Amino acid sequence: MNDHVSDPTVHTDRSADSDDGTPSSLDLSVSGGANGIEATYDDMLRLGRLYGDTGDRLIEAAWEDKAEAADADLLASAVLSPDSFAAAEGAILDATYGPRGLVVRAATIEAQSLCFIGVVEIYRGADDARAAAVDALHYGFGYVVGYHLPGLALAGGLAVGTLHLVDPVLAEMGREEIIEYLEDHPEALQDLVDGGGGLLDGMAANPLTGPLMGALGLDGFHADTGAAADDLGDLLFGDYVGDLNEQYDGPVFDHQPPRDLEDLIEDLGTTAAGDIPDGVISIQRLTDADGNLSYVVQLPGTDDFVSEGAIRNMGSNLTLIAGDSTAYGDAIAQAMADADVPDDAPVMLVGHSQGGMQAAALAADPDFGYHVTHVVTAGSPVATAGIPDDVTVLALENTGDVVPLLDGEENPHGAHHTTVHAEVLSGSLGAADGQNHSLSTYESIASAADASDDPSIQAAIDSMHVHGFLGDGDEPVQSQTYTYQTQHGGQVRPAEIRDPLAMLGNLVP
C-alpha cells in the first residue's frame, strides 16, 4: 500500500485553529436541497402516489365487502327474515358501489392522485421548456458572435471583438473595469459560454474562417457547450490513461478528522498548496467507535493549463465539460484501490475547480466501482455532470468567480443537490490567496455555510455526520491519510494540434 508514512509529513491540528467561533458575516443564497422547489415537487409526487395507492386499496376492499352479499349464512337468513336480509344486502351495496360507497370514494381519490401528479409534470415540463428555449437563444447568440467575430478581430483583435458583440461598452473598458463588470454581471459570461457551440458553428459559417474551421475539424454541428468542448479538447490535447507515481517521495498528509465544512475545505487547501507537487491527492480513512469506515477523497484542481504533460490541465477541463472520462479520474480510481477502499463503504469526494468537476464526473459514472454518497465542490462547473439524485451534493460558489460559470448552465436543484452562493468580490478572477477563485475564499464560504440555519444546508451537513464524514468531537474517530501523486500513463490519442500553447496564443491579440 502506498501510504507514505515517512517524513516530510504535512499535519493538520484542529486545536490550533484560529477560528473564534464567530459566524461569518457573508450573506448566502441557497438553491435546491431539502428546502428547494424540487423537494416540493417530490413531496407532491409522493402524495399523489399515496392517493393512488389508497384508491387501489379501497377498490380491493369494496370488492371484498361486496362478496359478503353472497355469504352463505346471509343468503340462508332470507327465508327466515326477508326484510332484514334485504336491508343487509342494500347496506352492503350502498357501502361498496353506492353513491357514497368505497368505489366512488376510490374514484375520487384516484382523480386527486392524477391531479397531483399532473400538476408536478406540468410544472416540470414548463421548467424544461423554458430551459430549452433559453439554450436555443444562447446558441443563436453564440452563432451571431461567431459569424461576425472574424471581421471584428481583423479590425481590433479577437478579445476586443468578442467584447464588442457581447456589449459595446465592454470593448471600451480596461482590464480592471472588465473584471469589475464580470463580478457584477456573471450572467453575461454564463450566457456566452452556454452559446459556445453556436460560437464555433458561426465561425464555421463565415467565409473567412470557415475553411480553417473545416481543416481543424471544427465545422460540424455543436448543439451545446459540451460538444464544442469535446472538439476543442481533441484538437488541443491528447488522451492518456491515468497512473500513479510509485516513486513519489514528496510531502504526505496527516489530516485530522474533519468536524465541519470549513475543515473539509481547509484540508483540500492543504492538499493543493503551492509547495505540493502537481497531481497530488489524498484519501482519508475514518473509523468510528463501532468500527464503521468512511472515506474522504480530496481532489485539487488545475495545475497547468497548457502543459501536455500535466494530468490536471485544460484538456482535462474540456474533457470533463464534454462528459468524457479523464486520466485524472482513472488515476483516482487506482489510488482508491491501492488504499483498499471497500466498494460498499461510503465515500465523499471533495474538489476545487477541476477537482470538483472530476468528483462530480466520478459520482455520475456507474462504472466507477465505489459507493459515492456525497460530493462537495468549491468553485466548480458541475451543472451538466449528471450526478444521480440520491447522491448528496453541496456546491459552494462565489458569484465573483467565473469558473463555476464555464459549463454555461445553472446547477440542478434536486432534493439532495444544494448550491450555496456567496458574493466575494476581490477585484481579481485568479486563484491566489484571497482572490475570487481561491480556496481561502471558499474556506470563508464554507465557514458561513457551517453557521447558516438554512434547512437545505443543514440537511446536507447532517447527512455528512450520519455517514461518518464529519465528527462532533464527542466520540473518538481514528484517521489514516494516504497520499498519492496522479500522473499520465500511456498515450491513447495524440493532440491534433501539436503545440496547444501556440494555438491558444494565436487566439489572443
Assess if residue 419 is contained within a domain: yes
Residue range 225-255, pLDDT digits in tens? 888 888 888 888 889 999 999 999 999 999 9
The three three-digit cell numbers of residue 269, written as one number = 487547501
Q: Which helix (H) or strand (E) holds 246?
A: none
The answer on pLDDT for 398 being more than 90 is yes
Cβ atoms of residues 348 and 376 within 8 Å: yes
Do 334 and 308 sit in the same domain of this protein? yes
Query: Are 118 and 138 in a shared domain?
Result: no
pLDDT of residue 6: 45
Torsion of CA 189, 193, 194, 196, to 10 degrees: 150
More confident residue, 218 or 62: 218
CA distance 68 to 40: 42
**What 8-state DSSP symbol labels residue 498?**
S
Say if residue 145 is in the same domain as residue 108: no
Quick one: 392 and 276 in the same domain? yes
In a domain, 444, yes or no: yes
Same domain membership, residue 462 and residue 355: yes
- Do 91 and 137 sit in the same domain of this protein? no
> Longest C-alpha distance within the chain, in Å?
108
Tell whether 253 and 231 lie within a shared domain. no
Asked if the structure places residue 179 within a domain, the reply is: yes
pLDDT tens-place string over residues 439-491:
999 999 999 999 999 999 999 999 999 999 998 767 778 999 999 999 999 99
Looking at the predicted structure, is the pLDDT value of residue 414 above 90?
A: no
The C-alpha atoms of residue 266 and residue 85 are separated, in whole angstroms, by 80
Is the same domain home to 308 and 378?
A: yes
Evaluate whether residue 61 is within a structural domain.
yes
* Domain co-membership, 416 together with 305: yes
- Residue identified by cell 456566452 is 192
Q: Is residue 458 part of a domain?
A: yes
- Higher pLDDT, residue 387 or 195: 387
If we measure between CA atoms, which residue out of 184, 183, 265 comes closest to residue 436?
183
Q: Is the pLDDT of residue 317 over 50?
A: yes
Asked whether residue 169 falls in the same domain as residue 185, the answer is yes
Tens digits of per-residue pLDDT, 467-476?
999 987 677 7
Whole-number pLDDT of residue 151: 58
- Are 60 and 100 in the same domain? yes
**Averaged pLDDT score across all residues of the chain:** 78
- Domain-embedded: residue 22: no
Q: Which residues contact 57 (CB under 8 A, 6 or more apart)?
A: none
β-bridge partners, 418: 32, 394
- 3-state helix, strand, coil split of the chain in percent (to 5) is 50, 15, 35
Q: Look-up: residue for cell 485530522?
A: 256
Q: How many domains does the chain have?
A: 3
Could you list the residue range(s) of the whole structural domain that residue 316 is in? 241-491
- Hunting for cell 464534454 — which residue is that? 322
Q: What is the pTM of this model?
A: 0.76
Segment 116-147, tens digit of pLDDT: 666 666 666 665 665 666 566 667 667 767 66
Give the C-alpha separation, 465 to 349, whole Å.
Answer: 15
| Contact between residue 374 and residue 391 where contact means Cβ atoms under 8 Å apart | yes
Asked whether residue 29 is assigned to any structural domain, the reply reads no
pLDDT digit string (tens) for 351-384? Answer: 999 999 999 999 999 999 999 999 999 999 999 8
Q: Are residues 345 and 464 in the same domain?
A: yes
Q: Is 363 among the domain residues?
A: yes
- 333/122: higher pLDDT: 333
The cell numbers describing 205, all together, are 459559417
Write down the residue that cell numbers 451545446 correspond to.
224
pLDDT higher than threshold 80 for residue 185: no
